[in-house]
């Protein structure tokens, strides 16, 4: 039987409606809107589209987005000064730095200068460290979105061998930490992994985040596996393709995310969710609840 598709688009739409309702309720009581600052350095066309989509998603749910476009020639110090200003701005709950940065800017240095409490992408070493030591606060959006997708199909984490292909700071590594926290046994594959097919065949839960279209072939996939395809590559004909060969994988997997319409919309939903959770925990939020976003993780290992 062909795999069932995990519909990230529809789950994301439901989550966005919930977020919009939460914001509207509080704004109706006189609370200020949540605010997200989005910084784009340079003119990379793909980054411009991502930033526009994120800003539109914010506006749709009632988050105020503040856009800062800096020229490619901007210096590390100018970028640092903007971050300092946003760190101090009470109307800004979250700060998003669109990556990659043009050379020679040092993204790690900039990310580290963001107030960890406003680190809406969860990339600050403090937040990654919290995730590593099983006390997550702000969690990176793509892995968090994948966990939400997996929760939606009642994944039994503690019994699963999860294989993550790709070990980047923004997807593969935090994904491994999330799944370890959830109780999976994990293997992480990367560029130097010998015999990738062997590892993929061991996966009951497979997460692919490489950016090489069709890298994972269907006959590598274990019968009945859950397969999450994070990769998005644009082919010369303009279509989008994941890392997994969709048609052949569909004949082996039990669950599979499509590209597009799988992980991508969940990343944006988690960006909105993280922004709202920071807002709810901020000093300017009247009748402040405790930080709630990570309690779902505490039930894990």
Catalytic positions, written as ranges: 54, 98, 121
Site mask, ligand NAP, residues 195-224, x = CB under 6 A? Answer: -x------------xxx-------------
Total residues interacting with ligand NAP, rule: CB under 6 A = 23
Q: How far is the CB of 98 from ligand NAP (least distance, A)?
A: 12
Q: Does 264 bind ligand NAP (CB under 6 A)?
A: yes
Of 55, 142, 280, 282, the one binding ligand NAP by CB under 6 A: 142
Residue 287 three-state SS: coil
Are 140 and 3 contacting, i.e. CB atoms less than 8 angstroms apart?
no
295 token code pair: 């309690």
**What is the per-residue DSSP string for 195-230?**
-HHHHHHT-SEEEE-S--TT-B-GGGSPTT-EEEE-
Q: Which helix (H) or strand (E) holds 49?
A: helix 45-61
Of 191, 223, 237, 289, the one binding ligand NAP by CB under 6 A: 191
Nearer to ligand NAP, 49 or 301 (CB): 49
- Only one residue has tokens 């800003």, namely 55
Taking only Cα atoms into account, the Rg of the chain, rounded to an integer number of angstroms, comes to 19
Of 111, 162, 170, 228, the one binding ligand NAP by CB under 6 A: 170
Calculate the alpha carbon distances from 131 to 74, 121, 143, 195, 230 in Å.
32, 13, 11, 30, 20
Q: Does 36 bind ligand NAP (CB under 6 A)?
A: no
- Only one residue has tokens 């509207």, namely 24
Q: How far is the CB of 186 from ligand NAP (least distance, A)?
A: 15
The helix-helix angle for 263-281 and 141-152 (nearest 10°) equals 110
Nearer to ligand NAP, 55 or 267 (CB): 267
Nearer to ligand NAP, 44 or 89 (CB): 44
Of 111, 165, 221, 256, the one binding ligand NAP by CB under 6 A: 165
Q: Does 23 bind ligand NAP (CB under 6 A)?
A: no
Q: How far is the CB of 176 from ligand NAP (least distance, A)?
A: 11
Nearer to ligand NAP, 194 or 290 (CB): 194
The helix-helix angle for 125-132 and 172-182 (nearest 10°) equals 30
Sort strands 240-241 and 233-234 into parallel, antiparallel or unpaired.
antiparallel
Q: Which residues bind ligand NAP (CB under 6 A)?
A: 142, 165-168, 170-172, 189-191, 193, 196, 209-211, 230-233, 263-264, 267
């Amino acid at each position: 039987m062909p795999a069932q598709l995990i519909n990230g688009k529809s789950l994301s739409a439901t989550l966005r409606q919930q977020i919009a309702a939460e914001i509207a309720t509080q704004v109706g009581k006189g609370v200020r809107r949540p605010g997200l600052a989005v910084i784009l350095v340079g003119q990379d066309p793909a980054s411009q589209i991502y930033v526009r989509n994120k800003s539109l998603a914010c506006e749709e749910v009632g988050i105020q987005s503040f856009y800062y476009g800096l020229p490619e020639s901007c210096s590390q110090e100018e970028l640092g000064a903007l971050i300092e200003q946003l760190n101090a701005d009470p109307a800004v709950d979250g700060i998003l730095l669109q990556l990659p940065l043009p050379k020679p800017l040092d993204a790690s240095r900039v990310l580290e200068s963001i107030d960890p409490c406003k680190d809406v992408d969860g990339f600050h070493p403090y937040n990654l460290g919290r995730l590593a030591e099983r006390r997550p606060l702000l969690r990176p959006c793509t892995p968090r979105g994948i966990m939400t997708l997996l929760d939606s199909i009642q994944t039994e984490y503690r019994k699963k061998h999860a294989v993550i292909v790709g070990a980047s700071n923004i997807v593969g590594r935090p994904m491994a930490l999330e799944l370890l926290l959830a109780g999976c046994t994990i293997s992480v594959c990367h560029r130097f992994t010998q015999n990738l097919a062997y590892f993929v065949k061991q996966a009951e839960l497979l997460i692919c985040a490489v950016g090489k279209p069709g890298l994972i072939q269907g006959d590598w996939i274990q019968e009945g596996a859950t397969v999450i395809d994070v990769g998005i590559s644009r082919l010369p004909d303009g279509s989008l393709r994941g890392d997994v060969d969709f048609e052949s994988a569909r004949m082996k997997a039990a669950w599979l995310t499509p590209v597009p319409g799988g992980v991508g919309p969940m990343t944006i939903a988690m960006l909105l969710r993280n922004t709202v959770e920071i807002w709810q925990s901020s000093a300017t939020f009247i009748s402040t609840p405790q930080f709630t976003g990570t309690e779902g993780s505490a039930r894990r290992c």
